[in-house]
Amino acid sequence: MSPDVVVCGETMLLMLAEPGVPLEHAVSFRRSIAGAESNVAAGLARLGHSVRWLGRVGDDPAGRAVLAQLRAHGVDSSYAVTDPEAPTGVLMRDSHPARAIDVQYLRAGSAASRLSPHELQPRMFQGARLVHITGITPMLSDSANRATWRLVELARAAGAVLSFDPNIRHKLGTPARWREVVTPLLSRADVVMAGEDEWELLGVPDPAALLGTGPRTIVVKHRDKSATCLTSEAEAAVQPAFDVPVSDPVGAGDAFAAGFLSGLLHGHGPDQCLRQAAVVAALVVQCPTDTDGLPNQAGLDRALAGFTDAGSETVIR
């Protein structure tokens, strides 16, 4: 069956320390998975969309756990590559609602970093309506960078909407390297979602200026946690963040992307897409791991109704 959505990128085994305990002192860990693209894939699958994940894992227990977890989320991993010569990446982190999160990546030389263009074939994208990528993938290695441009080409050939989230991770490279590798991708996508600080780092102080150069929809996530959606067809829509207790802030951006993209797939306008995005993000930050709080459609509908009743609406200006 053809998927609604194709994503491609790195998925790692996540070892999450017990809540509130600094990583260096933690003795108990919960196993899960982490990866920007697979988080979005899981979110969209939970919301009823058919999603395919493309990527690479090692032929090891961590890789088998990653693939099993993707399948448990309802994500098609049938085209995943298992590399017998390279390990699956591992991410260790702690969890705290207020202080900075300590993250340790064990990904050098990982199977995911060996992604190459020839592994991506047109049949994997046949029938897809949306292809979602992030800036993490091209920053992993030169071959993964070339593979990302192959993804752009295949998305175009399939007639799919191309969604792009820079998802800047400073441990992967300097700001100059991010601008060199990732900034050129901004004008190739149809939908770009990025934080205010990410737009600035990538040398785009006025994201609206990109409209008409490639992107048809631009989302700016502001420092105060509100978000603005810009299109050339409608007035800007602005969505404040919902006030919820935060258990673990990691994964909020990917949850936001899943909610927004689900709205696009359903044909909703910018205001409804933003509202869905904010709701999914609000649900995820109340739970540990990147995916525990992801709702199904019924859960999203209930949360939308609850937040709307509480008086939080999208502002059009």
CA distance 114 to 64: 18
94 is an active site residue: no
- Which of the residues 76, 94, 165, 254 is marked catalytic? 254
DSSP secondary structure, 99-133, as one string:
SPPPEEEE-TT-SGGG--GGG--GGGGTT-SEEEE
CA distance 304 to 279: 7
Tokens encoding 315:
């502002």
- Which residue in 271, 265, 270, 269 sits closest to 297, CA to CA? 265
- Which residue in 184, 94, 95, 99 sits closest to 135, CA to CA? 184
- Residue 138: which residues within 8 A CB-CB, separation 6 or more? 144, 145, 147, 148, 149, 181, 182, 185
Tokens encoding 21:
């305990």
- Which residue in 111, 114, 70 sits closest to 89, CA to CA? 111
In Å, how far are 17, 46, 83 from 68, measured between CA atoms? 21, 16, 16
Residues annotated as part of the active site: 254
